[in-house]
Amino acid sequence: MSKFNEIIQSETPTLVDFFATWCGPCKTMQPILDQIKTDLGESIRIIKIDIDKNQAVAEQFKVKSVPTFIFFKKGEIVWKESGAMTKQVLKQKIFGIS
């Protein structure tokens, strides 16, 4: 948990993907997240949290469904949204608040 807090409080904006291995939409999002990471490089950090293995973190951030994305800047939640989305929509959300 302390490593997670260290990551989200860093200077690098962090997109957290709360997912489950059994979740179809979560699997759909993986290549989109990979493309965004390739496009944005070091300007953003993307981390994945398996809700089945990290229930305490999921509960802390009130994750009720997967996938749920939370975007952090310097430890603050900038936005939170559940459900699959296109690469274009996700990038607009990231840049809309960067």
Known active-site residue 54: no
Selecting among 8, 16, 20, 26, the annotated active-site residue is: 26
Tell me the C-alpha distance between 88 and 39, whole Å: 12
Active-site hit among 16, 20, 23, 51: 23
CA distance linking residue 87 with residue 49, whole number of Å: 19
Whether 26 sits among the annotated catalytic residues: the reply is yes
User: Angle formed by the axes of helices 87-97 and 24-40, to 10°?
Assistant: 50
First-last CA distance in the chain = 25
Q: What amino acid positions are annotated as catalytic residues?
A: 23, 26
